[in-house]
Amino acid sequence: MDEHFIKIHKWLYPVSWIYGAVVTVRNKLFDWGFLRSKSFDVPVICIGNLSVGGTGKTPHTEYLIKLLRNSYHVAVLSRGYKRHSRGYVLATSQSTAHSIGDEPYQMYTKFPSVTLAVDENRCHGIEQLLAIKEPSVEVVLLDDAFQHRYVKPGLSILLTDYHRLFCDDTLLPAGRLRESVNGKNRAQIVIVTKCPQDIKPIDYNIITKRLNLYPYQQLYFSSFRYGNLQPVFPSVAPKADSLTNELPLSALVNTDILLVTGIASPARMLEELKTYTDQIDLFSFEDHHHFNHRDMLQIKERFKRLKGEHKLIVTTEKDATRLIHHPALSEELKPFIYALPIEIEILQNQQDKFNQHIIGYVRENTRNSSFSEREDAHQS
């Protein structure tokens, strides 16, 4: 698909050089200590990338939440991109995608036991999280904060898309890099995301050489794994299993689908659904798109145009957070709207190694040793 091809706008190179010079000076000011990075006395794990656009930060953050939540009280701090609020906001049961952002809201609804907050000032956000006494925060996950250097994380995880490796890209606006490739040197872990399930051993070797990492950096490869469809409005979903409230992907055979997405790259999701049905109408919006009244009317009209006897609207978990409270969404559409969840799979039989890398860092840096002991008991 054309989304998988890297487009470099060479005529914008002069602007990229100016942008790159500014970013380089900023990074040097941090490296030389003129701008200060603040450390904290709890484990802080940063998940980010060098580029704009989707590399899978949210599902990888969710992977870390699931890995750590049974042994430590985890907090997630995000910027809350495109939220309709400012400053520090702690997620509560009254929060919406508008108040804290679509991706933070997605994580909060999936993991209500996790403390989640948004703040464009990450230092201030962490300070506010650490001031919470019941329960006290033991691990902080920084979502999309690789360039926010005022915080010095104890562990940085850098993601790069298999279809658009940072070594093949260039700086904004000619390409999609937020900073130069040298920024990768700040990461202790690099993950090549969105890999095909049938990736060949030779591809691992080629990518490893091209990324040119240092010996202190660990390289992993991950792939998306899709779960059963989840009804966005379960109380009115007639197709969902009465026990699990899910719809297996195998049930999509002979089903017409309107695929509604507001993400950076719907290509992988479309490929997955096409393994079950060819009858798919893709209705794609820009990343983090806020649906308006006209969008709702178009979704309704395109759904009506589907000709099959069996038809559904499928969307992403992130887009579902913006649809679920939308006042203009037709009531007659709600029983047909399902979200396709994404999980991360670490490839090359490296999952245990990756998990132990993360757990080892947290255990060594947790200020309360009793929680390390509890983590040991949980792992056994």
Binding-site positions read 51-58
Do the bridges between strand 139-143 and strand 280-284 make them parallel or antiparallel, or are there none, so unpaired?
unpaired
Phi, psi (degrees; rounded to nearest 5) at 169: -105, 175
Is residue 289 a contact partner of residue 266, using CB atoms and an 8 Å limit?
no
Cα–Cα distance for residue pair 197/232, rounded to 1 Å: 28
Contact 367, 137 (CB under 8 A): no
**Distance, CA of 207 to CA of 168 (rounded, Å):** 11
Q: 């409230």: which residue's tokens?
A: 245
Which residue positions form the known binding site for ATP?
51-58
